[in-house]
Amino acid sequence: MNNPQLTKDGKLKHLLSIEGLPKTILNQILDTAESFAGVSEREVKKVPLLRGKTVCNIFFENSTRTRTTFEIAAKRLSADVVSLNVGTSSQAKGETILDTVDNLIAMHADMFVVRHAQSGAAHFIARHVPSHIHVINAGDGRHSHPTQGLLDVFTIRRHKREFHNLRVAIVGDVLHSRVARSEIHALTTLGVPEVRVIAPKTLLPADVERLGVQVFHDMRAGLKDVDVVMMLRLQNERMSGALLPSAQEYFKCYGLTQEKLALAKSDAIVMHPGPMNRGVEIDSSVADGSQSVILPQVTYGIAVRMAVMSILAGNPE
């Protein structure tokens, strides 16, 4: 099957999921992001790469955070940015996804950043856009959030340098998490030898080991000697959906506290994609503690998104 993300010569055409991307492309994005991290620290945070191009954020599912970071990233590349929060506009009037997309194409957009509540939505849109348009998946249902996965491994690389000797634990609702799936694919592709998932059975997908992870139901056992702890957000609906009894019990068994963190390596880093539920998946003292890299993650997110947009914009059709 043709990889829908790559051109015939193996260059990145769309960023739809981390799964299916070769290690060389992941590294290209991470290396390019290093340069952009420097740009963000300057007085003039802009470079002229995407000048004259229009980037459209089409968010069928709301998100102020992610949309804002994509907007900032595009503007720092000197692109013109249009943001469409479809929930409030034509989609609500019954317009189909393809009609919304076609209208934006007619307005000469060059790049779409898409977020949708359904898995596969970004692939679907990428199948239907003309060849000069690039699609970036900003999150599709439970499937994939590739820029988050990328910024997470970028963060790990910044703090740990090498991947080949790391133990990484991902804690929480893997079943419903597109972030978890992207993180798992990024880590395994980059050669992390041990990727652990820590969660109750109700929050793990069927056959999850096939993704290349080791399953732990006991958080203390799962955190032993890890170098990186990646926490996932727990949504309130999980309690009402008969997947968990209460937030309190979840915090007791799977919340990250100082005491549990001490089981990991002493220089282990703590990550979270945000927004955090303090006291549910993570204790405030850990979130604000010395091992937390949660705030830097946000900064790196802009550099990584700038890198993705630049690479896509520069690749020939």
Which residues of the chain form contacts with another protein (CB under 8 A)?
Answer: 1, 4, 11, 19, 28, 31-32, 34-35, 37-39, 42-44, 46-49, 96-98, 116, 118-121, 123-124, 140-144, 178, 181, 205-208, 210-211, 310-311, 313-316
Task: Supply the DSSP string of 195-253, one letter for each residue.
Answer: EEEE--GGGS-TTGGGGT-EEES-HHHHHTT-SEEEE----THHHHTTS-S-HHHHHHH
* 138, HSE (Cβ side, Cα atoms, 13 Å): 28
Task: Supply the DSSP string of 25-68, one letter for each residue.
Answer: HHHHHHHHHHHHHHHTTSSS---STTTT-EEEEEESS--HHHHH
CA gap 29, 23 in Å, rounded: 10
Query: Considering the complex, what minimum distance in angstroms separates the CB of residue 289 from another protein?
Result: 29
Query: Considering the complex, what minimum distance in angstroms separates the CB of residue 260 from another protein?
Result: 27
In eight-state DSSP terms, residue 279 is T
Query: At which residue do the structure tokens 């019954």 appear?
Result: 94
Query: Considering the complex, what minimum distance in angstroms separates the CB of residue 6 from another protein?
Result: 12
Query: Considering the complex, what minimum distance in angstroms separates the CB of residue 225 from another protein?
Result: 27
Considering the complex, state which of residue 46 and residue 220 has its C-beta at the smaller distance from another protein.
46
Considering the complex, state which of residue 96 and residue 284 has its C-beta at the smaller distance from another protein.
96
Query: Considering the complex, what minimum distance in angstroms separates the CB of residue 212 from another protein?
Result: 11
Considering the complex, state which of residue 14 and residue 272 has its C-beta at the smaller distance from another protein.
14
Cβ 269 vs Cβ 295: under 8 Å: no
Query: Considering the complex, what minimum distance in angstroms separates the CB of residue 107 from another protein?
Result: 20
Distance between alpha carbon 223 and the CA centroid of its chain, in Å? 22
Cβ 304 vs Cβ 40: under 8 Å: no
Considering the complex, state which of residue 99 and residue 288 has its C-beta at the smaller distance from another protein.
99
Cβ 16 vs Cβ 4: under 8 Å: yes
Considering the complex, state which of residue 3 and residue 248 has its C-beta at the smaller distance from another protein.
3
Considering the complex, state which of residue 59 and residue 124 has its C-beta at the smaller distance from another protein.
124
